Amino acid sequence: MISKKRIISSTLLLLVAALVSFTVIGCKKEEAPKAAEAPAAKEMSRADYSGNVVVWSFTDELKDMMPMFEAEYPNVKVEFTVIPNQDEVYLNKINTTLRSRSATPDAFTGEAAFYKQFIDAGYWEPISDAPYNAEELVKDLVPYVPNSSRNADGKITALSWQATPGALFYRRGIAKEVLGTDDPAEVSKWTSDLNKFYELGEKVKETTNGEKYLLAGYSDMSQFIFNLRDSPYVVDNKLVIPEGLLDYMKIAKDMRDNGIESGTTTWQPPWFSSMADGSVMCYILPTWGLHYVLKPNAEPEANNGEKEFEGDWGMAVPPASYSWGGTWIGINALSEKKDLAWQVVKYLGRDEDFQEKWSKKTGDFVANTKVQDKITPTFSEPFLGGQNHYEYFVGEAKKIDVSHRGPWDFQIENAWGDQVALYASGNKSFDQAVADFKKAVQEILPDVEVD
Amino acid sequence: MARGLIKNRDNKGYLFILPYFLAMLTFQLYPIFYTFYLSMLKPVTLIKMEFVGFDNYARLLTNPLFYTAIGNTWFIWLMNYVPQLIFALLLAVILTNPKIRARETFRTLFFLPNLVTAASIGVLFAVFLDFKNGAFNHILIELGIFSEPYEWIQDKMAMRMAVSLIQWWQWFGYTMIIFMAGLSAISGDLYEAANIDGASSSQVFFKVTLPLLKPTMLYVMVTSLIGGLQIFDIPRVITNGRGGPDNALTTMVLYLYNQGFKNFNLGYASALAYALFVMIIIFSAISFKVIGKRD
């Protein structure tokens, strides 16, 4: 018979083993990843680089870019994985991977909504100095693109092939019906000022007897509103609510109450379907929004090359300049193949030949100003009735100021959006909505003073 | 000592149970301890954390949202559990009656919702309840009940009830099957005896069926409670992860998830996990005590 003593002692043994393993693993120091030995700098041709490099991204654009890279670097093989960021899957995947000090992926992308957190955490290798010397390479780029990836020491950590200035797209048919003209310059007179824009909304409603709307949802305005601020949301550990956000809440309710927007929410299925049914005049979208959101949803068949674009869309000036989104790519600070990873980052973020091919292939707006200058005169977008959208974006890209962007903006702006929705639907008073927003910020940043 | 352990015949049993213990240590006991350790940390950046002792627990207990989350969870559970119990019992009694035709078909039909994934039901409902394009508003307007669409998604009570409704619809079939098993375990002799004594069918139900079904009901309650306290998927999907409107659908687990994986505060999320853990232990203990008493 097994003695009771023995059972107890073996149980204790197991418990001790558990505790020891817990202490050993649990007490590992939680430090930011340190830079491994930097690769030696020497002149190498593209064919000299060889090996495998692992690249992760949340966007599948890179799937088409990587073969272009491999063609230029014949001895480098890219193992590319897309991890969609639906429900923050990508973000959490990067988090768990890097927290466990993994050397792969060698390079990975980050999006405007969360890349500041990557930078703060030190996930990306700083590339300003030798052997990378990115500072010398970024002179031709739209300044905000490398500058917004600078860490606390002022070093660049990531590059991007794109700049993402915003615009406003409108249905020419509705513009003609309401304003008697579909000329972008004339339409811009109505769309470039927020008060006039609201007036235009009333005109759309009157002319069409309330059957058509200026906007699919007031939330479409949020991006330029969020850009319209002169300070970060958190200053000296205190919450700052920009005046523009308060105005937006009021306008949102006016628009909802007066039937100026159609009652959908950005990114929800009815919002996408409203693009095709012709009931909405304007969509406020940036560069990528044109190619990846509006075109495939407004005219899916033409976008697949099954027929010609109708050219019923135009581009006008939005009520305020803004930038929305953007994808940056940086080197994993723990990678063992930083030289190869740097070639990927440099190729995407800087290479003129690549960016020219890419913009011609996709119409995406690239970050290299030399490429912009070269291709701008030749651009004509059939979806926009032949309008040259590049020309406008070149001007807008120069105006972008994202210096107030902070690591928690995405969460804070979502919390604001929640309260706007409650106020606009009449479920809450204005003051209550602002007070509840402060509570919501406290949930995100418990140490920040909100009053 | 190790040699002695293996040589002794009586101890060979330990070797056989070792794999289980290793798995339990790695995947159950270790995470339980590690979560406790995590609950004492606070994030500085995504990767750096600092030790704060029991601060996260203090924050938890003084945070009104924590109590709101508990309230939401219980409300949603009760609102679906009570009708589910009544409905399932009724159907089980009807469908065990041999006089009813096509019983098998009905049984399958009622069980079907349980096979649909919660996520797809959530998406379906979100579209169904949509403001301007949702079928529900269109039906109400067509019937002349509403004159203009109502924004259900922003109505706290409506959204809580919608989640309860989905839960009810998904689970009454399952509960019904359990009840049917319980009913078939009741000896036919008892019914025969009741019939001979001239009991009416309602008397049979309340005096024979219901008392003998009590263990089954307790089983259903315990499993439903443990599942109900952990409700997450439908509130998550139907509100696009926001837990809104106004945190009306922020259940305990959704709150935990959003803190851990949206706000990246693993420490606070771990403290929440512990609070949930303690609650489930308490309620399970109470339930088992009640069951134990009967036996």
The residue whose two tokens read 């927007």 is A261
Parallel, antiparallel, or unpaired: how do β-strands A166-171 and A280-286 relate? antiparallel
CA–CA separation, A55 vs A329, rounded Å?
9
Report whether pLDDT(A442) > 60. yes
- Residue A356 pLDDT level (bands cut at 50, 70, 90): very high
Q: Where are the beta strands (DSSP E) in A74-174?
A: 76-82, 107-111, 158-159, 166-171
pLDDT at residue A230, as a whole number: 87
pLDDT at residue A135, as a whole number: 93
pLDDT at residue B188, as a whole number: 86
The whole-number average pLDDT for the span A419-443 is 95
Share of chain B above pLDDT 90, in %: 52
- For residue range A378-398, list pLDDT tens digits in order: 888 899 999 999 999 999 999
- For residue range A227-249, list pLDDT tens digits in order: 888 899 999 999 999 999 999 99
Residues sharing a CB contact under 8 Å with residue B217, sequence separation 6 or more, in sequence order? B85, B182
Run of H or E including A380: none
Q: Which domains does chain A have, with CATH numbers?
A: 46-163+325-399 (3.40.190.10), 166-321+404-444 (3.40.190.10)
- Residue B79 pLDDT level (bands cut at 50, 70, 90): very high
Q: Where are the beta strands (DSSP E) in A128-252?
A: 158-159, 166-171, 213-215, 234-235, 238-239
pLDDT at residue B291, as a whole number: 66
- For residue range B240-282, list pLDDT tens digits in order: 888 878 999 999 999 999 999 999 999 999 999 999 999 988 9
CB-nearest partner of A422 from B127, B154, B263 = B154
**CA-wise closest residue to B154 among B238, B74, B71, B237:** B238
Q: How far is B75 from chain A (nearest CA, A)?
A: 21
Report whether pLDDT(A2) > 80. no
CA–CA separation, B260 vs B223, rounded Å?
26
Strand order in the sheet with A158-159: A76-82, A51-57, A107-111, A327-331, A158-159
**CA-wise closest residue to B242 among B227, B262, B269:** B262
The residue whose two tokens read 């304007």 is A282
CA–CA separation, A239 vs A232, rounded Å?
9
The whole-number average pLDDT for the span B142-146 is 90
pLDDT at residue B241, as a whole number: 83
CA–CA separation, A405 vs A208, rounded Å?
40
pLDDT at residue A32, as a whole number: 47
Residue B112 burial (CB count, 10 A): 11
Residues of A in contact with B245 (CB under 8 A): 418, 421-422, 427
> What average pLDDT is seen over chain B?
89
CA–CA separation, A263 vs B150, rounded Å?
11
Q: How far is A79 from chain B (nearest CA, A)?
A: 26
**CA-wise closest residue to B271 among B54, B20, B7:** B54
**CA-wise closest residue to A425 among A189, A184, A264:** A264
Q: How far is A433 from chain B (nearest CA, A)?
A: 10
CB-nearest partner of A22 from B34, B241, B265 = B34
DSSP A268: S
Q: Are A421 and A268 in contact (CB under 8 A)?
A: no
- Residue B32 pLDDT level (bands cut at 50, 70, 90): very high
Residues of B in contact with A264 (CB under 8 A): 131-133
- Residue B293 pLDDT level (bands cut at 50, 70, 90): low
Q: How far is A13 from chain B (nearest CA, A)?
A: 12
Burial B28-40 (b: 16+ CB within 10 A, else e): ebbeebebbbbbb
> What average pLDDT is seen over chain A?
90
pLDDT at residue A27, as a whole number: 44
**CA-wise closest residue to A122 among A146, A102, A143, A151:** A151
Run of H or E including B277: helix B266-294
With an 8 Å Cβ cutoff, are A427 and B154 in contact? yes
CB-nearest partner of B47 from A98, A262, A414 = A98
Between helices B118-128 and B135-142, what is the axis angle to 10°? Answer: 40
With an 8 Å Cβ cutoff, are A263 and B132 in contact? yes
- For residue range B187-203, list pLDDT tens digits in order: 889 989 998 999 888 89
CATH superfamily for domain B63-118+161-294: MetI-like (1.10.3720.10)
Measured between CA atoms, the residue of chain B closest to residue A439 is B65
CB-nearest partner of A32 from B34, B37, B47 = B47
- Residue B11 pLDDT level (bands cut at 50, 70, 90): confident
pLDDT at residue B287, as a whole number: 77
Q: Are A185 and A378 in contact (CB under 8 A)?
A: no
Where are the alpha helices (H) located in A214-324, listed in sequence order?
222-227, 243-257, 269-277, 287-289, 295-298, 300-303
With an 8 Å Cβ cutoff, are A14 and B25 in contact? yes
**CA-wise closest residue to A311 among A381, A216, A390:** A381
Share of chain A above pLDDT 70, in %: 90
Run of H or E including A281: strand A280-286
Report whether pLDDT(A34) > 60. no
With an 8 Å Cβ cutoff, are B45 and A121 in contact? yes
Strand pairing partners for A54? A79
Q: Are B41 and B59 in contact (CB under 8 A)?
A: no
With an 8 Å Cβ cutoff, are A411 and B156 in contact? no
Listed by start position, the domains of chain B span 63-118+161-294
CB-nearest partner of B242 from A118, A123, A418 = A418
Highest-confidence segment of A218-222, A304-308, B153-157: A218-222
CA–CA separation, A380 vs A390, rounded Å?
8
The SS3 assignment for B65 reads helix
Q: What value, to the nearest 5°, has the Cα angle with vertex A413 and ends A408 and A415?
A: 100
Measured between CA atoms, the residue of chain A closest to residue B15 is A10
What residue type is A90 in one-letter code? Y
What are the phi and psi torsion angles at B99 (to 5°)? -75, -20
pLDDT at residue A29, as a whole number: 45
* A310 token code pair: 């109708």
- Residue A36 pLDDT level (bands cut at 50, 70, 90): very low
Residues of B in contact with A121 (CB under 8 A): 45-48
Parallel, antiparallel, or unpaired: how do β-strands A158-159 and A280-286 relate? unpaired
